[in-house]
Each structure stands twice: as structure tokens, then as C-alpha cells.
Amino acid sequence: MIDLQGKKALITGAGRGLGRGMATGLYKAGAEIVILDILEDVFKTSAEMEENGAKVHSIICDLSNRENRIEGFEKALELLGGKIDILVNAAGIIDRFPAIDLPMETWDKVLEVNLTAVMDLSRLAARQMVPQKSGKIINVASMHSFFGGFNVTTYASSKGGVAQLTKALSNQLAIDGIQVNAIAPGFIQSFMTSHHEEDPELYAQLMSRIPTGRLGQPEDLEGITMFLASNLSNYITGTVIPVDGGYLVR
């Protein structure tokens, strides 16, 4: 029912995990996509997607390096024929330290990837979208946009910032036909949440708060991504939408 034929999309952090799930939704709906990641998984991922008839390009890029991410965006734009309709900022990193032991180098890197790069890429994409008077920017927030978490000071700070950045960008870009929204995934089964399953007590506490009784899967993000990337969401902007199995309302 959602047709993204002819649309051009860039998805960061799409080599694996939830970023890959979001990219899968876009290519299933017919978009031509560039998947960007620091991991070499990106090449395997694009090859597997192309087996299904999708038009997929892949780029390795270090989003913590400001020059490299600008080069990555410019390369993506070139691969997409000089046009971008959809930007999905899905890349993210996490480090776990008590606040008093947090190395400032860790603070700088996590904020750079999780927040500053989101702003930078959104700025670059918006420069292309404003003249065409249309575009979709989809950011990845987190449950930690709402909660402080424990020993994830930098991650929670960055994801709180993503939620506010989404609103701030929406206020400025909506007049130009660009919708900016964020998805706040719950606990999605991936390398970033694997430590929960390794701790039986923590895992039991987590599962007791998820009404659906299961962890999310990357494919659970496909539908919301397709919806926010399509014309069906043209009057939705500045929102942070949980995809969490009911975790927030428990």
C-alpha cells in the first residue's frame, strides 16, 4: 500500500541491526537506497538486498570524522543521481561508564556520532530538499530519550538531544514541505542490547515491563519507517514515536 517508487534515500548505520531493518522497509516499498556504515557488513547487506531486485548502493563512512561524513554524504548524493528525498539517521554507538569515571573522549565520540552527525547530515540533506519543497528526515531516538538509564550518561544525553533536535528542525523545515520525525525504538534484539540477555536478572526485569512479552526485532521498524517516508505522513512532523511493545506505558 505504500509506494516509494522513484524516491531516493540515504540510511546511516544500515549495515546491520535496526538500521538494516529500516533500510529493508524502504527498499521493499520501492525506494532506491544508499546504506552507509562504518562496518564492512554494509557490502554484504547491500548484496543480499539486491538479490531481491532492490537498487542498493553501499558506502563505508566514519560518522565521527566530520570531513569523512561530508564526503560520505556527497558520495551518496552522487550515487542517487543528485537527489535525496529521504534521510534516515539510524547510526548510533553506546559506551557504559559510571558518570564519575566517564572518559571525556568517550563523551565527545558518542555525542559526535549520535547527535552532531544527525544535525550535520540533516543540514546537508535539507539544503537539497528545500528547493524541491519536499523531503523526509527520520531520526532514531531511544527509550533513553525519555529515561536517564543507568551508566549510559552520554548515550542518554545524546538521545535526549535527538528528540529535541527533531522538534527544532521540524519547526524550521515544515514550511518547506519537509517532515522531520523520530522513531524511539524499545529494546530491539541486536548487538547493542545483547548484554541484557546475558544477565538473567536484568533480562527478567526488562521482559516484565514489555506488555507484548518479547524483545523487538529489526523488522518491527520496517512499517513505521515506510509510513514516515511516504506521503501518508505529510501532516505529521516533529513527533517522537515509540516502537517499544508498550514499554513506555507499563
Domain residue spans in the chain? 8-249
Q: Which one is catalytic: 155, 203, 235, 247?
A: 155
The grid cell for 81 is 543521481
Cα–Cα distance between 121 and 201 in angstroms, integer?
39
Tens of pLDDT, residues 68-126:
999 999 999 999 999 999 999 999 999 999 999 999 999 999 999 999 999 999 999 99
Tell me if residue 155 is catalytic: yes
Fold assignment, 8-249? Rossmann fold (3.40.50)
* Other beta carbons within 10 Å of 249: 8
Residue 21 in contact with residue 217, Cβ under 8 Å?
A: yes
Q: What is the pTM of this model?
A: 0.95
Averaged pLDDT for residues 225-231: 98
pLDDT at position 125: 98
